[in-house]
Amino acid sequence: MKITILGGAGLMGAGVARDLLSDRAIIDIAALRICDNSPQRMQKLAAELHDPRIELFDLDVTRADTLALALSGMDLCINAVPTLAGFQMAIFEAALAARVPYVDLGGLGTYTVKQMAEHKRFQQAGVTAVIGVGADPGMSNVICRAVADELDQIERINLYWAATLVGDENPVLCPPYSVSSVLAEYAHPSTQFIGGKHVQCAPLTGQEWLDLPEPWGRCEFMYTPHSEPLTVPLADGIREKGIQEFTWKLHLPSREHEAWVGLVKAGFNDFEDPLTIAGVAIKPVDFLSALIQRNMERNAHRFTHQQGHEIHFAVAHGRKNGKPAMARCEVTVHPHPMYSGYVDPCTSMNASIAAQLLLSQPRRAGVFAPEAYFDIPSYFRELEKRHFVVRTMVGV
């Protein structure tokens, strides 16, 4: 198999490459084409991974001919270019034109509806696209399918993700994923599925406190824009069970949460209108991203030893065998030596899992969300190989 990763030397793309080339692979990878606009990042990654299957490709996503060359001869395109950079649909369309199966890491639901609307075109062309295959979305969609399958009727599914850090506070702000994505989660309204229909909810709303096991403890969750509410309640096998509510909520560590709220208040949530300083125009989010990256590099020696812990869980309420029932599926991710070298192992490893399952099993043409495409037991086996702990519970 030959795989191309667009944005392959970025934080997420590099992690995807690392997992694909590991001994966990369930497919035979003959070539891995790393495509990025930073030769320095690509060369550094190639030196770290030191694998003869790696090819480096200078990527300019603004040029259709360059995109076509990046996809040429490939068995799969993994789009790891940050969604809010604005090239999602161009890459999506390039994969269709090249007849190359496609996956991406999603991105707050920004392009989800547009991509899903192209299902028939991909189906007619015989091309498979599975969108949003990271951790959230991606693995989160799969655990929603797992709880939905446990019930005969569904009243609601509520989906949550909580992260916490254990150890001395880091004096440097380190984003959990791309700066633009975090700011968008805090600054943009979200779409939730409430009362049997999609409704728009204001930023920083939907507050809910939940008591979780240690090390998370008592956590405050809030709505943020995500793609799962746009696809899960409409999926075959879920919609027919009568679902009336589907929500997605986030919890980040409290000090980081405060920092992101403050940055939004300061105006760094402006993604479109450049700020002109000394005759130079720059978008606030681009300035902030560059500043945070420089600050992290300059202060790497000051980083404290913090251990990150994540819990992703879906809770479904409804009926089973004619009686009220509840189903819960959770995936916990605790520190492990396997994750050394990964910025966000959960997101990048899940993208690798999705790519490998797509290539290792018979394909269906069209555009799909993860809950409509992947086999749950196969997916969970891959999670467990990577020391993610999966638990499913059904009760009243």
CATH number of the CATH domain containing 168: 3.30.360.10
Q: How many helices (H) and strands (E) does the chain have?
A: 13, 18
**Domain presence at residue 388:** no
The CA distance from 346 to 344, in Å, is 6
Handedness of CA 321, 323, 324, 329 (dihedral sign): negative
Could you tell me the pTM of the whole model? 0.94
**Domain presence at residue 277:** yes
**Domain presence at residue 75:** yes
Task: Quick: pLDDT tens for 254-299.
Answer: 889 999 999 999 999 888 889 998 999 999 988 998 999 899 889 9
For residues 191 and 317, membership in a common domain is answered with yes
Structure tokens at 265: 């208040």
Smallest CA-to-CA distance from 221 within 176, 184, 260, 251 is with 251
For residues 21 and 67, membership in a common domain is answered with yes
CB 6 within 8 A of CB 77: yes
**Domain presence at residue 389:** no
For residues 110 and 189, membership in a common domain is answered with no
For residues 326 and 364, membership in a common domain is answered with no
The CA distance from 338 to 331, in Å, is 17
Taking CA atoms, 382 is separated from 26, 310, 376, 379, in Å, by 9, 18, 10, 5
For residues 150 and 111, membership in a common domain is answered with no
For residues 327 and 208, membership in a common domain is answered with yes
For residues 350 and 209, membership in a common domain is answered with no
* 3-state SS assignment for residue 239: helix
Model pLDDT, residue 83: 87
Task: Quick: pLDDT tens for 325-367.
Answer: 999 999 999 999 999 999 899 999 999 999 999 999 999 999 9
The CA distance from 56 to 59, in Å, is 9
For residues 26 and 94, membership in a common domain is answered with yes
* Domain around 91: 2-134+345-383
For residues 77 and 183, membership in a common domain is answered with no
Model pLDDT, residue 176: 81
**Domain presence at residue 392:** no
For residues 98 and 186, membership in a common domain is answered with no
